[in-house]
């Protein structure tokens, strides 16, 4: 497995692969890899000739006071996990290589960033959009894969690739979970043993809201309240948001309609650790028989 630290060298290598008509699969990460990342490598390996994984803790997507400095890092461990799962190249640049002295450009989006993560972390998606655009220009992938856990980010990346005409297919893989439903995340390492046990409340709350939707609930505020009430059963939790929205636009209608695709989104603090999770639910169509219509007066 090859490790490349300089963007010019990575770009040159990508040009050579493209000239050879090789399909490049790309897995962007901030490192501290886990089995969820491994699943992304394996999935894109199936359709790619060469798999590139980036490890870059992007400073531009962290606001002052967030966990950039203490974000977990272990390159040797990451290298082994990447190789074990079929990665061919690790692109591992330093911040100065990605943002050299005199750097002065930022990519901004006009939609999908005003609510949820965009509201809680106002500068976050500008940093994400900028670094993803840079990485796409450096690696020049045929395919790029992202996990659904960062749901709003996946919408942002799709919009970015569409609007800036990147010739890259965006693949979204399902969230990889622990045995109790907790979404795998590099930040889970921050949790104490007791906090780790408590963190399963996120997935259980999402499941309760999904069950309500499948049982006929369509009122957005009631669906949100189900998640809030479930989360508040855990003493000491701090809720950033627990909301439902249209899965494509993130709009928040009063009532969801049959056939709508709804995303349930949660962000909470357990201790000092901020955790996010989500679940996508297809609102079932209501089947109405002739007898039902007569009884209902339709």
Which residues are catalytically annotated?
37
CA dihedral 16, 21, 22, 27 (to 10 degrees): 80
State the distance between the two ends of the chain, measured CA to CA, in whole angstroms.
66
- Diameter over CA atoms, the chain: 73
In this structure, which long-range contacts are made by residues 179-184, counting pairs with CB atoms below 8 Å and at least 24 apart in sequence? 181/207, 182/277, 183/36, 183/149, 183/275, 183/276, 183/277, 184/34, 184/35, 184/36, 184/149
Are 2 and 9 within 8 A, CB to CB?
no
Three-class DSSP category at 51: strand
Phi, psi of 164 (to 5 degrees): -100, 10
CA gap 107, 8 in Å, rounded: 21
Q: 69-82 in b/e burial notation, b at 16+ Cβ within 10 A?
A: eebeeeeeebbebb
């Amino acid at each position: 497995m090859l490790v490349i630290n300089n963007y010019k060298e990575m770009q040159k290598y990508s040009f050579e692969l493209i000239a050879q008509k090789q399909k490049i699969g790309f897995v962007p990460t901030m490192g501290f890899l886990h089995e969820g990342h491994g699943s992304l490598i394996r999935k894109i390996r199936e359709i790619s000739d060469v798999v590139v994984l980036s490890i870059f803790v992007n400073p531009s997507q962290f606001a002052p006071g967030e966990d950039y400095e203490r974000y977990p890092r272990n390159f040797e461990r990451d290298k082994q996990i990447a190789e074990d799962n079929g990665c061919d190249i690790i692109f591992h640049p330093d911040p100065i290589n990605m943002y050299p002295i005199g750097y002065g450009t930022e990519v901004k989006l006009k939609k999908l960033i005003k609510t949820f993560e965009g509201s809680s972390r106002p500068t976050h998606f500008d940093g994400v959009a900028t670094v993803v655009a840079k990485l796409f220009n450096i690696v020049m992938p045929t395919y790029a894969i992202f996990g659904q856990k960062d749901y709003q980010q996946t919408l942002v990346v799709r919009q970015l690739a569409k609007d800036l005409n990147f010739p890259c297919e965006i693949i979204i893989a399902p969230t990889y979970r622990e045995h109790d439903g907790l979404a795998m995340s590099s930040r889970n390492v921050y949790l104490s043993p007791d906090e780790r046990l408590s963190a399963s409340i996120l997935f259980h709350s999402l499941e309760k809201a999904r069950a309500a939707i499948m049982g006929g609930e369509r009122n957005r505020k009631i669906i949100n309240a189900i998640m809030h009430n479930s989360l508040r059963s855990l003493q000491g939790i701090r809720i950033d948001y627990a909301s439902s929205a249209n899965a494509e636009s993130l709009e928040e209608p009063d009532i969801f309609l049959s056939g709508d695709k709804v995303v349930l989104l949660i962000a909470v603090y357990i201790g000092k650790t901020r955790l996010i999770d989500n679940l996508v639910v297809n609102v079932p169509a209501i089947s109405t028989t002739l007898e039902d219509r007569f009884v209902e007066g339709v």
